[in-house]
Chain A
């Protein structure tokens, strides 16, 4: 298991996402973490679920391999909860906006729900 070099905070998440650093992002998660993604194809009653750190690492590797820009605008922390919004753009102009809510446990992300909307 990778040692977490940085604590999970709004600032460290912003740095990892904007720097498309998949390795750092993956290190923020607990081994049995769950990421739920809600979007047009994955409605709230049946979100896409990514379970466990291995699958989450693949997920972030895929996302971070895209030559796109990410900007984390707002981060809010309250106890073991963290929330942030993220604006992304692909080189062909397609924009994506995400809002994420995170639950932390022992300093790691245990559960994350992402709601995303795409230009279509």
Chain B
């Protein structure tokens, strides 16, 4: 793709940088939040995806507010008012020949979009506000916390230190964290950032809401880390006829989290049509392997062992028919055509990690990924979070992996549910246990679990297993349903890290003292 042309519109004496992309019939102006940089947006996978999605059905008009990104710098001690910045939207629309446009305001861009819609109703085709608010102190940050935020932001500006306050879910994503730091540096100088933050704190457009006449859609993530979702609920009450779509997620920037969900909502609202299915995605089994230095090896030894593991990882992934996809420090990502291969590779990697003397924790998930470009997106984030949840030496997988691997000979036990910001429902997990014929090879981990980690009821069940009783017999004896007994057995095997009932019986026999197991 050819680079997107950046042009400049004159707004008074100031040059406002803008880009136009897409060939759709609707003009759509994107009003960015706190800071922006037109060139940098295309370098982030999520941002670029958002812009591609929106420009597939519109003529998308992008700009950097004065004082930010590629637009003219302004005196950081005399930043323009919200009204002046709003007028920059009009200047850009005039430059591109847009008499009437849909306005999409994200975060701090929302109050600007509100002001525009109230001031220029004839130029506002429709209004979409994402993660927006009408007054800063009430819904974003209380007055007493503002000075500390500005002080911290100004001191550490350019290091990406603000990321945790905007997208806590991406803090561990080192590539994104690096991009965020550049985003800070290339979007505003430290003094401008502090001044912008102070100016945003004065935002209060509550009085404008009733004047909005354009059809309005509000989108807000339910656990938004930056702007309280009550802000959009308030907007929904005050803007005539506005519709509110609350969606799952925690990360605040519109280009993070489930970007497709946001784009679907915007497209449907503006065109009346459902989003066309994305045909450039394929199903893949994803394996995320995290390694860590739990033995406190010291930097040098850890570095040697980590390097050795990376080499082994490449070898084993290839041997299992997979492809190494990505690695950021201690997180290694590989993809496979089928889930059974991914799980078998994970078992081999676990063994390799043990041999090398480092700790591993792995997550397997099946989901759609982009056919082209670097491996990223929802499925990979889910796999990474599953790996985060896995214990040392553990191989956790989504339930779907177990379902798809039926007949492969792999064995899984229930591992509960994991709530994830990106998903509506908690994700059902399973733990991959060793295949029977591999049992001795994979069972080198010493079991140090005490019987006291079992509940009273689980201790009763394990004692009865040791007596050789079936689930039905145990159920009858303890007045439980057979289903409940099965759950207890699964939990016992998980807690004791044992592969079978027989092993549990042996464990109980070993533990049996005068008072029983």
User: Which A residues lie at the B interface, using CB under 8 A?
Assistant: 37, 39-41, 46, 48, 55, 59, 62-63, 65-68, 90-92, 94, 96, 116, 118, 120
Contact = CB atoms under 8 A, between A and B. Distances in A.
Interface size for chain B: under 10, 10 to 19, 20 to 34, or 35 or more residues? 20 to 34
B25 to A, nearest CB: 5
A90 B272 CA distance: 26
Nearest to A89: B97
Given A41-B56, A46-B276, A120-B2, A91 B97 contact: yes
A63 B97 contact: no
B2 A92 contact: no
Nearest to A120: B2
Contacts of A40: 23
9 contacts: A37-B25, A63-B25, A65-B27, A65-B98, A65-B100, A66-B98, A67-B94, A67-B97, A92-B20
Contacts of A118: 23
B7 A92 contact: yes
Given A41-B56, A55-B272, A62-B125, A90 B25 contact: no
A59 B94 CA distance: 20
Contacts of A120: 2, 5
B26 interface: yes
Contacts of A92: 7, 20, 95-97
Interface string B117-141: 0000000010000000000000000
Given A66-B27, A67-B97, A94 B276 contact: no
B97 A68 contact: yes
Contacts of A67: 94, 97-99
Contact of B96 (A46, A55, A90, A116): A90
A103 B310 CA distance: 63
Contacts of B57: 41, 48
Contact of A66 (B22, B56, B99): B99
A55 B20 CA distance: 24
Contacts of A59: 25
A63 B22 CA distance: 14
B468 interface: no
B24 interface: yes
Contact of A116 (B23, B55, B94): B23
Contact of A39 (B5, B23, B125): B23
Given A65-B100, A92-B7, A92-B95, 14 more contacts: A37-B25, A39-B23, A41-B22, A41-B24, A41-B55, A41-B56, A48-B57, A62-B27, A65-B99, A66-B99, A91-B94, A92-B96, A94-B20, A96-B23
A115 to B, nearest CB: 12
Name the residue among B2, B27, B55 with the largest chain A CB count within 10 angstroms. Answer: B27
A62 B26 contact: yes
Contacts of A66: 27, 97-99
A48 B26 CA distance: 13
Contacts of B98: 65-67
A55 B55 CA distance: 19
B56 to A, nearest CB: 5
